[in-house]
Structure 1
Amino acid sequence: MRKIVILTGAGISAESGLGTFRDAGGLWARHRIEDVATPEGFARDPALVHRFYNARRAQAVEARPNPAHAALARLQAAHDGEVVIITQNVDGLHETAGAQNVIHMHGMLSGALCAACDARWQAPLAMGPGDACPVCAARAARPDVVWFGEIPYRMVEIGQHLDEADVFVAIGTSGQVWPAAGFAQQAARGGAWRVEMNLEPSDITGDFSETRLGRASEVVPVWVAEVLGA
């Protein structure tokens, strides 16, 4: 088990108070995905999109890592092989827990992006349509997050890690969002053992060698302890 590649989704952060877009009553439940998480939605109403992500950013700042985040950071520090963490989450909780070199395939709430020149900078807590790019001065600032219809970041690098994985683990993912939904199949082609950890079987549970059901804060630390023999 030399190289472990881990994909995390919204389910790992749910116990830190950050809901998924399928949760009832949360931020996502009050908005259509097409209005707040697509380039077209941003073009139609940038003020709405900024208000939505300002609220998400404020939530993320207050959130704290849970035992699942801590366990993965421990695994990365203690495993005698390589541990690569890829996340669909934009909250930064893996780093807060101590993880290193996390691949944020969907960007981060803490980042800002210029839609005009692609410059990136640290996002303030609140952004608005009038915010100017510090590089080109265009009033085209947007959150540096990947929206539906856009290509996730670092896909070539992610593909290389999946091809090299001895073990691939998916934690808190629904198996409904591509291209991440195809990661288990890609890892399987390279001979990796595939482990799914989720509250319930995902839409792609058949792509995994093993499924462990339960809260991430419970099942992830148990699995990490098994891997580390402690």
Structure 2
Amino acid sequence: MKKKIVVFSGAGISAESGVKTFRDHDGLWENHRIEDVASPEGFRKNPQLVLDFYNARRRQLNEVEPNDAHLILAELQEFYDVEIITQNVDDLHERAGSKKVLHLHGELKKARPIDSDVDIVVWENDLNVGDKNDKGVQLRPHIVWFGETVSEMENAIEITSTADYFIVIGTSMTVYPAAGLIHYLPDDCEIFVIDPKLSNSYTKSEHYFQMSATEGMKILTKKFLNNMK
């Protein structure tokens, strides 16, 4: 039986592909307050503004490609059971070839009706006011906004609890409830952290890589492949 690698990825891995975070140094998202473009209240107040914000992000996905960190994680599937839990709403892990990807905060290329969080449909193009499902209900981005429940959290906890190795890539582990996943790891699980900005506070120093996602994964994959010998 293959050993289990669980990866917890954040904006840092996608940034290397050129995906914009949209969060400026002053806390604004493309000159908008977070509450205006990433909350149910903002959507009720100005739905087209919110839809346009995510339309721009969805279009950008057509301009970027998976980077080496994404590709290395996909290649590790040959030797390990690799499951990825990501805070990212892009599809770069899937495009790199990863088969088991859980999106905690939703996906840009999906939409759902405003009255349900389960009737999810694939949506590749712009989404506008007037776009409805077959029941006549307005569609919204399949994104977990501030104040909404992270419905995939229980599935993420279950995956985390089975890890032999846990790799944190490109996330500060400060956004809850997702950051709490680390408390569900088995006692004998080895934790690895890759982040150029993150201070090391919860893993062994030799398991901490203060570098980019690609640089860190190139080093770390050698360790995992050596374990196979």
TM norm. shorter chain > 0.5: yes
Structure 1: unaligned runs, 5 residues or longer: none
CA drift of 1:25 comes to 10
CA distance in 2, matches of 1:24, 1:172: 18
Contact 1:184 1:208 (8 Å CA) reproduced: no
Deviations 1:31-69 (A, max 9, x none): 211111111111111111000000000001221000010
Question: Gapped runs of 5+ residues in structure 2?
Answer: none
Shift of 1:2: 1.6
Mapped contact 2:89–2:107 kept (Cα < 8 A): yes
**Could you say what the CA RMSD is over the residues aligned between the two structures, in angstroms?**
2.1
**In 2: Cα distance, 1:98 partner to 1:27 partner:** 33
1:9 Cα deviation after fit: 0.3
Size of the aligned set, in residue pairs, is 223
Aligned counterpart, 2:152: 154
Q: What CA distance in whole angstroms lies between the structure 2 residues aligned with 1:154 and 1:200?
A: 27
Amino acid in structure 2 at the alignment position of 1:133: N
SS in 2 for 1:68: helix
How far residue 224 of structure 1 moved from its aligned partner, in angstroms, is 1.4
Partner of 1:2: 3
| Alpha-carbon distance in 2 for matches of 1:68, 1:84 | 15
Q: CA deviation at 1:90?
A: 0.9
**Range with bigger deviation, 39-48 or 120-129:** 120-129
Which secondary structure state, in structure 2, belongs to the residue aligned with residue 164 of structure 1? Answer: coil
8 Å contact from structure 2 (residues 38, 50) kept in 1: yes
Contact 1:109 1:145 in 2 (8 A): yes
Identity %: 43
* 1:225 Cα deviation after fit: 2.4
Secondary structure, aligned partner of 1:151 = coil
Q: CA deviation at 1:73?
A: 0.4
**Equivalent-residue separation in structure 2 for 1:40 and 1:3 (angstroms):** 40
Instruction: Look up the match of 2:195.
Output: 198
Alignment match, 2:174: 176
Q: Does 1:104 align with 2:99?
A: no
Corresponding residue number in structure 2 for 1:17: 18
Where does residue 220 of structure 2 map in the other structure? 223
- Whether 1:71 aligns to 2:66 is no
Structure 2 CA distance for aligned equivalents of residues 2 and 219 of structure 1: 20
- Whether 2:126 is the aligned partner of 1:129: answer no
Within the alignment, does 1:208 sit opposite 2:203 as a pair? yes
1:38 aligns with 2:39: yes
